[in-house]
Structure 1
Amino acid sequence: MEKVRKGLARDLVAEVRALDKQLAANAAHLEELVAAADSTLMQTPGIGPVLAARLIARVGRASRFPTAAAFANYTGTAPVEIASTDKSRHRISRSGDRQLNPVLHTIAVVQIRMPNSPEHAYYQRKVSEGKTSKEAKRCLKRRLADHVWKVMLADERRAQSPAATP
């Protein structure tokens, strides 16, 4: 019985190691693709090759959104007011591309965990203003949507500039 358990454990460890290698190879390939797209998204703390690739693939051209608010609405990070009797609250919009919201959520969580980052300070300031953790994170996601849109727009403009073409 012990030999069977050890054999299964050995097989599982080998499988996990193979999957880790495959994940590392995929991340390296995505990093190459993001670099080929001439994107500076990975310069933002919390955005690695996987998240940058997901943003580029899901958004396409950032210039198709006339404003940061339109982009935030598309990503589902624009707050929607919910009014009930005397109380008015905000929640995340459920419209737009629902696969972009988790990307921004992941970036927000990573930035909140970085104690020396401006985003961490912003989140803490929102909490100290009386917002709940969820509300403060929602505010940070909205702010991140603005930042991502500006970076993608700048990347697009830089790629279209005459100096960028050979």
Structure 2
Amino acid sequence: MKLYVGIDVSSKDMKVCLMDQEGETLQRFTVENNLHGASYLRDQIVSCYDQGSFQAVHIGLEATSVYSWHPAMFLHEDRALQARNTKVYTINPKLIRKFKEAYVDLDKNDHVDAWLIADRLRFGRLPLTVVLQEQYVALQRLTRMRYHLVHNLTREKQVFLQHLFYKCSAFTTEVESSVFGNALLELLLEKYTLEEIGSMELDALAQFLREKGKNRFADPECLAKSIQKAARSSYRLSKCVEDSIDLLLGTSIESIRSITAQIKQLDKAIQKLLDGIPNTLQTIPGIGPVFCAGILAEIGDIERFKDQASLAKYAGLSWQKHQSGSFQAEETNMIRTGNRYLRYYLIEAANSVKRNDAEYRAYYQKKYHEVPKHQHKRALVLTARKLVRLVDALLRSNQIYTPGRKVDR
């Protein structure tokens, strides 16, 4: 017989419900969400287990941001609970919300939520226990922060381009070089007016670009001409507006450089941690330390997953089936659940792999030409789904990637 423990977690406290296999509530109580509260909770679980004829303990918590992480890890690693065959589940809140719809007469409060979690544990068929080992947790914190910074960098660059259009409306159409290179950013930081840029000596502007770009431009004179052409072709601003835009451009440039430096620091830390986790994913062409770390951090131990299909579903790279009688829908939608971080890193990795591996490039092209719309997005997601099979096979077998070798479908 199993003892089921449902815990509704908040930043301040935890509402707890202990339930037996018949659905009878054994205890209800509240503890603080700290080390002392978790220790008291552990003692209550052990006492209840020892007084009954239980063979295992299943503990469930909703995945409530960071608040459930500490108690989940504490209960997962506690030796007294380990000796009593304990499993800890962090459950998607959507799963509990859908389960509650079967009970039409329940009120909404924290004690009811704890009871619902315990009852959901009792019904079983939970996807998997998702408490990761410490090295994966540390890696996950870094890769998720990198994900956050990359998206912030994208947004900051979009804001920068908007301000740049005010300053020099023809810049992006006339200048082929990336505006985010060091030389062009330094030029904008100088706060030259469009008249000053347009009337500057061509050799002087080319020399400025050559020095700030560290001689990386193939033809700095040609780039200088295009910049001057853009300056002469752009709309003019009043002095008041131009000064404000120059300030905003400078602020955006500082933000972009700061975020870029932070990402580089994270990449070094990710590489250091990754060195301690043996794997063969980096033998796949196009998968470097960052993509490898992002995938490993979210998967953890591959044995947590039954097969590659369950791994794909966990990542949200799965499609809903729509069938009734003899009818089978040709168009189906992707599921709206799944681990968004794992999905992000798999799709980004697939985009890189297709550029470096002939088999995946051919597969992407095949899927790209199968439909008339959403071609790139669809083909890339399907390529990521194909990559899941390879990732699953390599992690289970611990073998290096061999091009052309078949993996289990």
Compute the TM-score of the two structures, normalised by the length of structure 1: 0.72
Q: How big is the alpha-carbon RMSD for the aligned residues of Structure 1 and Structure 2?
A: 3.0
Residues 116 and 46 (structure 1), Cα distance of their counterparts in 2 relative to 1, 3 Å cut? closer
What secondary structure does 2:321 align onto?
Answer: strand
Give runs of aligned pairs for residues 69-80 of structure 1, distance below 5 A: 69-80=309-320
- Greater helix share, structure number: 1
Q: Which moved more, 1:94-103 or 1:58-67?
A: 94-103
Question: Please, which of 383, 404, 407 is the counterpart of residue 140 of structure 1?
Answer: 383
Task: Determine the C-alpha separation between the residues in 2 that align with 1:10 and 1:99.
Answer: 32
What is the aligned partner in structure 1 of residue 281 from structure 2? 41
For the structure 1 residues 126 and 15, does the alpha-carbon distance in structure 2 shift closer, same or farther, using more than 3 Å as the test?
Answer: closer
In structure 1, the partner of 2:114 is: none
Letter in 2 for 1:147: L
Greater Rg, structure 1 or structure 2? 2
Question: Do the aligned residues in 2 keep the contact of 1:83 with 1:89 (CA within 8 Å)?
Answer: no
Aligned CA distance change for structure 1 residues 40 and 116 (closer, same or farther; 3 Å):
closer
Q: CA deviation at 1:121?
A: 0.9
Question: How many residue pairs get matched?
Answer: 154
Q: Which residue of 2 aligns with 1:163?
A: none
Whether contact under 8 Å (2:322, 2:328) holds in the other structure is no
User: What runs of 5+ residues in structure 1 fail to find an aligned partner?
Assistant: 157-166
Summarize the Cα distance change of 1:41–1:116 in structure 2 as closer, same or farther, 3 Å threshold.
Answer: closer
Please list the CA deviations of residues 53-112 of structure 1 after superposition, one character each: whole Å capped at 9, or x if unmatched.
Answer: 222221111012121112112111122234698852133222332332222221223334
Paired position in structure 2 for 1:160: none
Asked whether the equivalents of residues 350 and 383 of structure 2 are also in contact (C-alpha less than 8 Å), the reply is yes
How far apart, in 2, do the equivalents of 1:95 and 1:14 lie? 36
Classify 1:15/1:94 alpha carbon distance in 2 versus 1 (closer, same or farther; 3 Å).
closer
Q: Does 1:56 align with 2:296?
A: yes
Structure 1 residue corresponding to 2:396, chosen from 146, 153, 159: 153
Give the residue type in structure 1 aligned to 2:365: Q
Q: 2:353 — aligned with what?
A: 111
Maintained 8 Å contact 1:82/1:91: no
2-structure distance, mates of 1:11, 1:136: 38
| Paired residue secondary structure (1:94) | coil
SS at match of 1:88: coil
Q: Does 1:123 align with 2:364?
A: yes
Q: 1:59 and 1:115 mapped to 2: Cα distance?
A: 24
SS of match in other structure, 1:91? coil
2:333 alignment partner, SS class: strand
**Aligned partner of 1:24: which letter?**
K
Deviation at 1:27, TM superposition (A): 0.5
Q: Is the 8 A contact 1:81 1:89 kept in 2?
A: no
Distance 1:54-1:116 versus aligned 2 partners, 3 A rule? closer
Question: Percent same amino acid among aligned pairs?
Answer: 25
The residue number in structure 2 matching 1:161 is none
Amino acid at match of 2:317: T
CA contact (8 A) 1:81 1:88 kept: no
Query: Which of 20, 29, 34 is residue 269 of structure 2 equivalent to?
Result: 29
> What's the CA shift string for 1:103-154, capped at 9, x where partnerless?
2221223334x176321111112234x2452433332121111111122223
Name the CA distance, whole Å, in 2 between partners of 1:127 and 1:4: 45
Residue 13 of structure 1 and its aligned partner are, at CA, apart by 4.4
Q: What residue identity is the alignment partner of 1:68?
A: Q
Q: Tell me by how many angstroms 1:11 deviates.
A: 6.2
**Aligned partners of 1:86 and 1:153: how far apart in 2?**
34
